[in-house]
Amino acid sequence: MKKIRIGITVVGKDREGVVASFTNLIFQKQGNIEKVNQNVIKGLFGMHLEASFSREFDVKKFDRELQDLGKQLAMEVSVYHEINSDKNIAVFVTKEPHCLEALLAAKSQLKGKISIIVGTEKTLESYAKKAGIPFVLVDEKEQQKAEDHLIEVSRKYDIDLVVLARYMRIMTPNFVWRYPHRIINIHPSLLPAFPGAFAYAQAFERGTKIVGVTAHYVTEELDQGPIIFQDSFKVDSADTLETIKEKGQELEAQTLLKAVKMHLEGKLEVSWRKVYTK
């Protein structure tokens, strides 16, 4: 039979015995652990396991056992099944429309459904209404309250992939660890150069001859996640900061869309912080 692959994400207050408890449960089901990654930051524990099973067993029962184990250990557990069905997509936005427009224009081409658009303000709400997609405002100023709201929305819509379409808030491990290699961001430079929000201004001031954009998976390290796809354009002496921005925004939209399609089509594999194309 074809292998059953399951991703398990565990997040909660750091304590002893968490890794052993979950790995032992997998071994009891005669499963094989293919990947495991764990981290602790300021007392917050995060772990992602990828397990495979070569024999038939009750997947729903196993899911319940994982949740029960999570409750015993006071941990939040998310289970992700690698199946061929369409994925639920959440698009997070702020006020720049170009990436959202590209995703909406191509939504019929995606191997997934844009189930929700989340905004830090209401600037782009009209785009969601026109597309017939629910829009949720998450404008809490305090980081933890905002992320608690994001987690609640993502659970409600059973989100498989989060797309940051020029979403202008930093995300903490409390959210990021729940979606390992399932949050895609677009950055307006060829990473790792020119980090932060003002990449185009930095490129213009430094007289850069080539400007690029980077689609990458999001990790707890700002703008340091595994790179999915990059593209660039040449800058000539006639270009102003505004023309560079215009060209860059068009390329951002194209590059983000390409990365999202590749992810949804199962063409990407992450290993040792690098992304490989299948």
Instruction: Judge if 98 and 68 occupy the same domain.
Output: no
Q: Which residues of the chain are modeled with pLDDT < 50?
A: 84
Six token digits for residue 80 = 């992700």
Name the DSSP letter for residue 97: -
Instruction: Judge if 58 and 160 occupy the same domain.
Output: no
| Separation of alpha carbons 74 and 9, rounded Å | 14
Supply the pLDDT for residue 5.
85
Please, what is the angle between helix 18-28 and helix 59-72, to 10°? 160
Using an 8 Å Cβ cutoff, are 100 and 124 in contact?
A: yes
Of the candidates 63, 223, 236, 239, the residue annotated as catalytic is: 223
Instruction: Judge if 158 and 253 occupy the same domain.
Output: yes
Supply the pLDDT for residue 26.
94
Instruction: Judge if 192 and 266 occupy the same domain.
Output: yes
Instruction: Judge if 73 and 204 occupy the same domain.
Output: no
Instruction: Judge if 258 and 203 occupy the same domain.
Output: yes
Instruction: Judge if 210 and 154 occupy the same domain.
Output: yes
Supply the pLDDT for residue 84.
47
Instruction: Judge if 237 and 173 occupy the same domain.
Output: yes
| Separation of alpha carbons 52 and 181, rounded Å | 18
Supply the pLDDT for residue 80.
85
Domain count, the chain: 2
- State which of 81, 111, 145 marks the end of a domain: 81
3-class DSSP assignment, residue 207: coil
Supply the pLDDT for residue 278.
80
Residue 182 falls in which region: left (phi positive, over 0), alpha (psi -120 to 50) or beta: alpha
For residue 65, the domain's CATH number is 3.30.70.260
Active site annotation includes 139? no
